Amino acid sequence: MQLLIKYTRKVGYAWSLFLLACTTQSAPQQETALATKALKANEALPVKTQTLDNQVFNYQLLLNGKLEAKQVSEVRFKQGGYVEQVYVQNGQVVQAGQVLAELSTTEADLNLQKAQNNLEARRADYRDKLMQHRLDLKNENELAPEIRQNFRIVSGLADAELQLKQAELQLQNCRLRSPVAGMVADVEVKTQNQVSTERKFCVVYSAGQLELVGEVLESEMGYLKIGQTATLTTLAKSEKTYLATLSEINPKINPNGMAKIKLTVQNPVGLLLGMNAQAKLQIPQKNALIVPKTAIVIRSGKKVVFTEENGLAKWNYVTTGLENQESVEITEGLKPGMRVIINNNLQLAHDSPVRVEK
């Protein structure tokens, strides 16, 4: 029994030493052991590499927002009435001053005729006033201006002239004209509809001058400058991209820690008002060592990049800096000229055999 206990203790002690040796191995050594067991000497893993060199790192800022027009006009009739004609439809391009719709002019025509008749009658009264003072229209200017104006008021001529202008304006307002050149949207009125001055007829916006309006984080404001360029895409089923320029930065941070900016879209053919879009601003920062994001793997909670040396993968702990959607800045752990493995690195270990594919 005592011999059995001594033997068990020896075996346990040896097993503990073995476990201790395993746990004290470095991460590369553990990975090497696993790789050696998994891969035979002639099973070199095919990989692709990229030679490190200092280059300008482009910080990438993403902006999500909606497309707005630089010029938008909500068009309404200036007076109420029945709509007799609608001359435009959604998506139609119009010019400034073009007639969009027309109200019934029956009442306006009658008021205009009435105002014209009244004006003639008041002119006759005015002539009578002049004749009473032994003057005719040829020499009425000999009267003092205040006396002449008094005759115009007493005879009703001054009011008749104003009533005629009012009647002419009423007839003119029966025709709804576009205040700006642009594209028609939101046509909400049909013929024979009764409209009021509060009811919107349509919207006309500058389709050739669209802006992407969105918000960026307060911490990203330092990267922005007017004139920076960006590429813009929409959610529409199209692979087309558009160029845009940073045109406005609102110098105010809202309660959510965001600031509003605007990007002017160049040649926005095919884009529509209110579209959801995303812009990518490429902002050059500094010369740095840059690797693709695919080159970085996480081992034991730390960032690792594998390099290729003489057909073997080499383990390198790295420290990273700025990053964008595709690339990461390496601040420590690598040197220019190293050949970084950029694919098939998830199963690599230190000194794993690799075969570089061209």
H/E element holding 136? none
CA angle 290, 321, 242 (to 5 degrees): 65
What are the boundaries of each domain within the chain? Answer: 30-58+287-356, 61-71+206-284, 74-103+174-205, 105-173
pLDDT score of 85: 94
Q: Are 306 and 345 in contact (CB under 8 A)?
A: yes
- Pure H helices in the chain: 2-23, 27-38, 106-132, 145-155, 157-172
- What is the average pLDDT across 25-43? 50
Does residue 321 surpass a pLDDT of 70? yes
Strand, coil or helix: 110: helix
Token representation of residue 221: 């404001």
CA distance 201 to 196: 10
Digit-coded pLDDT (tens) for 103-126: 999 999 999 999 999 999 998 888
Q: Are 234 and 249 in contact (CB under 8 A)?
A: no
Question: Under 8 Å CB-to-CB from 189, ≥6 apart: which residues?
Answer: 83, 86, 101, 195, 199, 201, 202
Confidence grade of residue 184 (pLDDT, cut at 50, 70, 90): very high
Digit-coded pLDDT (tens) for 91-106: 999 999 999 999 999 9
The DSSP bridge pattern shows strands 354-356 and 45-47 to be parallel
In DSSP notation, 272-317 reads -TT-EEEEEEEEEEEEEEEEEGGGEEEETTEEEEEEEETTEEEEEE
The CB density around residue 142, as the number of other CB atoms within 10 Å, is 9
**Model confidence, pTM:** 0.60
CA distance 205 to 71: 6
Does residue 6 surpass a pLDDT of 80? no
Does residue 151 surpass a pLDDT of 50? yes
Instruction: Tell me which of 192 and 5 has the higher pLDDT.
Output: 192
The CB density around residue 244, as the number of other CB atoms within 10 Å, is 25
Domains 30-58+287-356 and 74-103+174-205 share a fold: no
Strand, coil or helix: 208: coil
Q: Are 226 and 249 in contact (CB under 8 A)?
A: yes
Q: Measuring CA to CA, which residue among 283, 277, 192 is closest to residue 240?
A: 277
Assigned fold of 30-58+287-356: 2.40.420
The percent of residues in the chain predicted with pLDDT above 90, rounded, is 58
Assigned fold of 61-71+206-284: Elongation Factor Tu (Ef-tu); domain 3 (2.40.30)
Assigned fold of 74-103+174-205: OB fold (Dihydrolipoamide Acetyltransferase, E2P) (2.40.50)
Digit-coded pLDDT (tens) for 48-98: 999 998 888 777 888 999 999 998 999 999 999 999 999 999 999 999 999
pLDDT score of 141: 67
Q: Measuring CA to CA, which residue among 55, 97, 114 is closest to residue 327?
A: 55
